[in-house]
């Protein structure tokens, strides 16, 4: 990957020109490259193939955009962005799909399967599953009306997975600000990254059990609450199907990637306790929320930067991993 140094020089120059201190670092550039240019000669069809499958999936189910974005999050938070989240359990192997944050929660595996299958038929063992996850996350944001960015490419896929790390390292829906900050810092992301990446909750849904603390109006974290909002959640979650009933994370523009999530937080309409606590639990996070609520451009720029940082977490390159033929299994 060092042969792509030219890309890295360009990235570093852009960093200086735009004065964003929390974006890519020089050491990261030595390992993975920016953009699909590294595949242009060997698999020029790759990016259009990935985009077309994501476009089809989101057209059929708008919620799939959030699901594909979430796959990338849950992958990167467990030992880095290595596609370990995609590995199935076998008789001799325990993956991460049955970990508490993932079981009966993560979706979109079939979309990844379809993408990988077509890529393997066109360019065998060329595009890693980890690179696919990073790309579908970006494409999902774009197709929902959000910003775009150049994907860092060149990741390899892991030869292992960790259910224990998935249980311990992925932030939970009832987390306090202190817990959120600790979980993000554990993987190398800062408080600002945490607030920016929480903005991914501007799309998608969550099931009633994940926000049961919100049904009381306030919980042990002293969350600000909008009484009408709480009443609507209580009604949704009072039926016999309460364990599977789901609410929009952003009830105003549920399928649009925008800054409405932060506006909702200031109105006491954050769905998850870990969302609303960004306003009620810490002055520093509240100030960032207020900035994003006022200026969607600032949110979009910070979100892009934090996505690039997250996508560079503990990546495997060259001989440290493999390019799987099937994303669900080690070769």
Q: For tokens 């989101």, what's the residue?
A: 58
Burial of 118 (0-12, 13-18, 19+ CB in 10 A): middle
Between CA 257 and CA 21 the distance in angstroms is 24
Q: SS3 for 21?
A: coil
Q: Are 214 and 271 in contact (CB under 8 A)?
A: yes
Q: Could you tell me the two tokens for 313?
A: 């977490």
CA distance 181 to 169: 12
pLDDT (0 to 100) of residue 217: 60
Query: What residues are paired with 93 via a beta bridge?
Result: 90
Instruction: Evaluate the CA torsion angle 235, 241, 242, 246 in order and state its sign.
Output: negative
What is the structure's pLDDT at 29? 38
Residues 82 and 254: their CA atoms lie apart, in Å, by 29
Phi, psi angle pair for 246, to nearest 5°? -130, 145
In this structure, how many other beta carbons lie within 10 angstroms of the beta carbon of residue 120?
A: 17
**Residue found under tokens 């009604």:** 235
- Whether this model's pTM surpasses 0.75: yes
pLDDT, residue 292, reads: 98
pLDDT tens for each residue of the chain, 331 residues long = 433 333 333 333 333 344 444 443 433 333 566 555 567 788 999 999 999 999 999 999 999 999 999 999 999 999 999 999 999 999 999 999 999 999 999 999 999 999 999 999 999 999 999 999 999 999 999 999 999 999 989 999 999 999 999 999 999 999 999 999 999 999 999 999 999 999 999 999 999 999 998 887 654 445 666 888 999 999 999 988 888 899 999 999 999 999 999 999 999 999 999 999 999 989 999 999 999 999 999 999 999 999 999 999 999 988 899 999 999 999 9
Structure token pair of residue 38: 């590294």
pLDDT for 9: 34
SS3 for 196? helix
Torsion, Cα 197 180 104 94, to 10 degrees, reads 110
C-alpha R_g of the chain: 19
Active site residues: 74
Token readout for 153 is 């490419």
8 A C-beta contact, residue 276 and residue 210? no
Alpha-helical runs (H) found in 83-189: 109-122, 129-143, 163-169, 177-187
What pLDDT was estimated at residue 318? 83
């Amino acid at each position: 990957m060092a042969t792509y140094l030219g890309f890295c020089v360009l990235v570093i120059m852009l960093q200086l020109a735009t004065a964003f201190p929390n974006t890519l670092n020089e050491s990261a550039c030595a390992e993975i490259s920016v953009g699909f240019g590294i595949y242009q000669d060997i698999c020029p069809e790759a990016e259009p193939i990935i985009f077309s499958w994501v476009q089809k999936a989101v057209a059929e189910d708008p919620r799939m955009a959030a699901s594909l974005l979430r796959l990338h999050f849950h992958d990167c938070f467990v030992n880095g962005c290595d596609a370990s989240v995609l590995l199935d359990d076998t008789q001799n192997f325990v993956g991460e799909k049955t970990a508490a944050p993932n079981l009966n929660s993560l979706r979109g595996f079939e979309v990844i399967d379809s993408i990988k299958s077509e890529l393997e038929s066109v360019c065998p063992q060329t595009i890693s599953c980890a690179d696919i996850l990073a790309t579908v996350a970006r494409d999902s944001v774009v197709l929902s009306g959000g910003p775009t960015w150049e994907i860092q490419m060149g990741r390899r896929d892991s030869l292992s997975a960790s259910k224990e790390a998935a249980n311990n390292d992925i932030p939970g829906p009832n987390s306090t600000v202190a817990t959120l900050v600790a979980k993000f810092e554990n993987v190398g992301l800062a408080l600002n990254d945490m607030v920016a990446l929480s903005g991914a909750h501007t799309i998608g849904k969550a099931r009633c059990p994940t926000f049961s603390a919100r049904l009381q109006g306030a919980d042990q974290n002293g969350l600000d609450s909008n009484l009408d909002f709480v009443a609507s959640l209580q009604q949704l979650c009072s039926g016999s199907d309460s364990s599977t009933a789901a609410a929009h994370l952003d009830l105003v523009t549920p399928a649009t990637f925008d800054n409405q999530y932060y506006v909702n937080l200031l109105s006491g309409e954050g769905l998850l306790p870990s969302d609303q606590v960004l306003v009620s639990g810490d002055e520093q996070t509240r100030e960032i929320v207020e900035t994003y609520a006022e200026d969607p451009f600032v949110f979009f720029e910070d979100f892009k930067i934090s996505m690039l940082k997250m996508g560079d977490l503990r990546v495997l390159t060259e001989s440290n991993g493999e390019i799987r033929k099937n994303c669900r299994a080690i070769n």
